[in-house]
Structure 1
Amino acid sequence: MNTLHPPVPAAMPRARVLAAYLQETRAECLRYLRSPSFVLPTLLFPAVFFLMFGVVLGARNSPEAPRFLLASYATFGVMAPGLFGFGMSLALERDNGLLTLKRALPMPPAAYLAGKTAMAMLMAALITVLLQALAINLAHVQLQVPQMLHLALACIAGSMPFCALGLLLGTLVKGHGAPALVNLLYLPMAFLSGLWFPLSMLPAAVRGLAPLWPSYHLNALAQAAVGFDDGRAGLHVLWLAAFTAVVFAIAAWRLRRHG
């Protein structure tokens, strides 16, 4: 027997690789959907804000306010699954050893990240559908089917940059510090991107910094979906794609290096 060159394990068949991804995705989605402490705040937080400002107060300020706020709070809502689902859970799973266990299992390494990403996109879809239902039935926002699909697609795909950012945050802090760090970034980023108030109402210095935030660009795409197109959709998509790739690469490097 040649002990200098041990046999290389055979590659996992494609069917088993696909099954591993599907099983991890199913497990992640079920785990979060069965957690009321995650699902209810994630769904209800943007819905309550929209009810207060888009339904109760929106039409009093402007007939177009509910439509504008629909896109804004959809953006605000889809930020949370990526930031909290990745950031907080990754930090906790690194602390309690679950991540180490998953690495030891015979599963593709990327299945762990794919499962969490699918969970975030599923939550983004649920949030968008809920807000659209409230906007159409309670705020009487007139939306065509292509607009509804456009908004849903923008929000579902737009959850990816926040998954990358959440992944990076999860590699930076321990489990007990993750909630504070995520909230410290989540709420100010929403405010500074013009999600709660139009940027025209904010100081010039804040308006100048707004394009630095991924939420600003996603909000622009969401606004374009409901009829407030600024004519720069391609630029916003390119910025979000570059942000996602760079931040994910940094987070993956940190995860491999520091575990």
Structure 2
Amino acid sequence: MNTLIKLEIVRTLRNRKFMFFSVLYPGLLFLIITAGADKTKKLDGVDLTLVAYYMVAMAAFGAMTAVLMGNAERIAQEREKGWVRQLRLTALPGRGYVTAKIASAATVSLPSILIVLILGATVKQVHLAAWQWVAIAFSTWAGSMVFAALGVAIGYLATVDVARPISMLCYFVLAMLGGLWVPFTTFPHWLQTLAGYLPGRAYAALGQSIEFGDAPHAKDITVLVCYLLVFAGGAAWLYRKDTRKA
């Protein structure tokens, strides 16, 4: 399993186009969204400035983009080309395959998170304590594993033709309801309640609670852990049951 993890990481790093889009795009988007924004003006209903809010949101957005979009389509292609069939002929368990895919995705998500945070600190002059910077980076990176597992599951459920549309639909819905594009406080109350039980909102809330100087809420962590178990377990089960190419 360790060999496969190393192979997956190397393959990911060699994909220059994917690395450029996944690593640099979120940072550029953060600069565009906050261009001309008042660095001291706070959002209505939230004791955070617009710049600080979108810094965490775009860090989460970048990680989600890297792990979800990349995994789903790539796995669907591997199934079609027969690479997964070769792995199935080995003693590799389903959990090993899923772990390798999540590990390779995490390789991409961490640099994209760090770039957004560095831009926030240097270009946008967001001021936080040292422990907050570290905690935001770590929690955002760790939380992205949920979406990496979802990407693996989609890659096994869908063919190459539909893997991208399905992953994009999941991605946009989760990002929108998570408050990554529009401040969460602008949602009606019923939608805020619904979104609170979805992984996108729980994911964004990790970094935002740290910005307030608090630890991530137990509810958000519980929601993410539950979804991680469901997605990773489902992906491992689909790996074992997939016989189309075997």
Report the TM range for the smaller structure's normalisation.
0.7 to 0.9
Match of 2:207 among 198, 219, 222: 222
| Counterpart residue number, 2:219 | 235
Matched residues in 1 for 2:65 and 2:101: separation?
Answer: 13
Matched residues in 2 for 1:110 and 1:205: separation?
Answer: 37
| Counterpart residue number, 2:45 | none
| Counterpart residue number, 2:24 | 44
Matched residues in 2 for 1:191 and 1:225: separation?
Answer: 21
Task: Tell me how far 1:55 sits from its aligned partner.
Answer: 4.3
AA of the residue aligned to 1:54: T
**Per-residue displacement from partner, 1:55-80 (whole Å, max 9, x unpaired)?**
44353854821111111111111112
Does 1:57 find its partner at 2:37?
yes
3-state SS, counterpart of residue 212 of structure 1? coil
| Counterpart residue number, 2:6 | 26
Task: Tell me how far 1:135 sits from its aligned partner.
Answer: 0.4
**Per-residue displacement from partner, 1:204-253 (whole Å, max 9, x unpaired)?**
44323212321100111111122275x76111111111111122222222
| Counterpart residue number, 1:198 | 183
| Counterpart residue number, 1:134 | 119
AA of the residue aligned to 1:245: L
Task: Tell me how far 1:148 sits from its aligned partner.
Answer: 1.1
Matching of residues 1-259 of structure 1 within 5 Å: 20-21=1-2, 23-57=3-37, 59=39, 61-62=41-42, 64-105=49-90, 107=92, 110-227=95-212, 229=214, 233-259=217-243
Cα pair distance change 1:25/1:241, threshold 3 Å = same
AA of the residue aligned to 1:159: S
**Per-residue displacement from partner, 1:170-208 (whole Å, max 9, x unpaired)?**
121101211111111112221122111112213344323
Task: Tell me how far 1:109 sits from its aligned partner.
Answer: 5.1
Q: How many residues align?
A: 238
Matched residues in 2 for 1:228 and 1:68: separation?
Answer: 14
Cα pair distance change 1:108/1:209, threshold 3 Å = closer
Cα pair distance change 1:153/1:60, threshold 3 Å = closer
Check the 8 A contact 2:72/2:153 in 1, yes or no.
Answer: yes
Task: Tell me how far 1:162 sits from its aligned partner.
Answer: 0.5
Check the 8 A contact 1:55/1:135 in 2, yes or no.
Answer: no
Matched residues in 1 for 2:97 and 2:57: separation?
Answer: 30
Check the 8 A contact 2:178/2:203 in 1, yes or no.
Answer: no
AA of the residue aligned to 2:57: S
3-state SS, counterpart of residue 196 of structure 2? helix
Q: Which runs of 5+ in 2 are unaligned?
A: 43-47
AA of the residue aligned to 1:102: L
Check the 8 A contact 2:40/2:49 in 1, yes or no.
Answer: no
Residue identity (%): 26
Moved more, 150-159 or 43-52: 43-52
Q: Which runs of 5+ in 1 are unaligned?
A: 1-19
Matched residues in 2 for 1:60 and 1:100: separation?
Answer: 55
3-state SS, counterpart of residue 140 of structure 1? coil
| Counterpart residue number, 1:10 | none
**Per-residue displacement from partner, 1:21-53 (whole Å, max 9, x unpaired)?**
1x3222211211111221111112311221012
Check the 8 A contact 2:197/2:223 in 1, yes or no.
Answer: no
Aligned CA RMSD, in angstroms, stands at 2.1
TM, length-normalised to structure 1: 0.84
